[in-house]
Amino acid sequence: MNRYCRSTLGALVLISLAACGEHSDTSEPVAEQSQASDKRTTSVNVAAVERRQLQAWVYSQGTARSRQREFLTFTQQGVVSYVDPQLRVGMPVKTGQVIAHQAPERVEADLQAAKASLAEAQASLKLAEVTQTRYEKLIEQRSASQQELDEARVQVQQARAVRDNARAELAQAQLSVDESRLVSPMNGVLARLNIEKGRYFMPNTVQADTEQNALRTVPALVIDPDRFEVRVDLPSYNFRQIETGAQAVIGENPSVAGQDVDPLAVNTRVEGQVYAVSPSLDPETRTFEVIVHTRNNETGLQDGEFVAVWIAEPSVDDALVVPLAALRFRNDQAFVFVANEEKGTVSERRVELAQQSGDYRAVASGLETGELVVTEGRAALNDGQQVRIIHAGENAP
């Protein structure tokens, strides 16, 4: 091949390479623009802002206690001579049933002596009254002196004083007998029994400084197993949201996130109501006490059980609400993305929040009824971004 042919061939190769380079430069920006366009359009789920009745709940935790519980103890030291051999912890007891008693000989003897003294005092009083009546008749017949009548009246007064003193001694003796016995004051269940027959009991062994110590050292405890109460401490800012008689729900397994739980959907729950609200705050914790009573018997609660408690706030009949899934927060400020169906865009909007109930939160300002808020896909959104709006129940392609 001559020199001229080789030059012509080289020129054709250079022209061909130049043409390929120009084609490559023009095609890459087109692809990038297409990808960027795809990134700017995001599919989002939306829900309409609506009005509905909203029931908010205040959540707390507390200990369930029987509303009637009686700690039974002896006031005198002595040997425990009797414990009902048929009785066990957890068994029912009836009003007046003897659970245990100390050696009764001494107190029974004192009781009999007090009864005898009272009978003697009553007989002396009756004799003095008869004598006074006789002298009153003799005075009318002028057969006795006024001094004799006055002495008879004094004897009646003295006899009455002796009678009254004998009654007091009898009551004291009866009290000693009662205090030497543990008797159930109600129909209930024996919850604790910390004594044994033949053991010597001393009152100073009972430690009542804490409930835990009392339960461990008191001779016996009888409770009502059907009616319970729960005492909870709430922050001061909840005071105006809690009313006496308000609905309450008591549930098992207290949760740190219990505020976000719908109490009416809790599987194991007990109905209750607010019985009392303390008007004063604890100066250290800045909390106030609320007492919740169970409404029905046979609650299934256990005395001393740690439980969750939800207390209903006053309901709002016509609240403007959004799903919780629509809310986002930045620097403690809540906002939502509002979708515009005509333009296919979203706009960021700040909102002021109010009560929460289940999966919904009331909005005090920032939205209007019927507006669409983004519930899914909001994590990748920016203000003014193009979106493909998917309504509830609609499937994305």
pLDDT tens-digit series, residues 170-227: 888 878 777 788 999 999 999 999 999 999 999 999 998 888 899 999 999 999 999 9
For the chain, what are the domain ranges?
42-54+317-390, 57-66+226-316, 80-206+214-221
- Tell me the pLDDT band of 358, cut-offs 50, 70 and 90: confident
Residue 35 is predicted with a pLDDT of 45
What backbone torsions phi and psi does residue 188 show, to the nearest 5 degrees?
A: -165, -150
What does each C-alpha distance from 311 to 153, 230, 325 come to in angstroms?
Answer: 69, 12, 24
Between 257 and 134, the higher pLDDT residue: 134
H helical segments located in 41-104: none
User: Percent of the chain, pLDDT > 70?
Assistant: 88
What is the structure's pLDDT at 161? 95
Q: Please state, for a pLDDT cut of 90, what percent of the chain lies above it.
A: 54
Position 23 pLDDT exceeds 70: no
Q: What number is the average pLDDT over the span 338-343? A: 92
- pLDDT category at 397 given cuts 50, 70, 90 is very low
Is residue 34 predicted with pLDDT exceeding 70?
Answer: no
Instruction: Please tell me the predicted confidence (pLDDT) of residue 394.
Output: 52
d(CA 330, CA 355) in angstroms, rounded, equals 19
Residues 57-92 have pLDDT tens digits of 899 999 999 999 999 999 888 889 999 999 999 999
Query: Are 171 and 117 within 8 A, CB to CB?
Result: no
Question: For the residues 360-365, what does the mean pLDDT come to?
Answer: 90
Task: State the average pLDDT for the chain.
Answer: 85
At residue 208, the pLDDT reads 86
Chain-centre distance of CA 114, in angstroms? 50
Q: For 370-387, b where at least 16 C-beta lie within 10 A, e where not — what string?
A: ebbbbbebbeebeeebeb
CB contact at 8 A, 188 and 99:
no
Report the CATH fold assignment for 42-54+317-390: 2.40.420
At 113-155, the pLDDT tens digits run 889 999 999 999 999 999 999 988 888 888 888 888 888 899 9
Q: Would the pLDDT of 356 be above 90?
A: no
pLDDT value at position 46? 92
CATH code matching the domain that covers 57-66+226-316, chosen among 1.20.1250.20, 3.40.50.300, 3.30.565.10, 2.40.30.170: 2.40.30.170
| Residue scoring higher pLDDT (33 or 286) | 286
For residue 32, the tally of other CB atoms under 10 A from its CB is 9
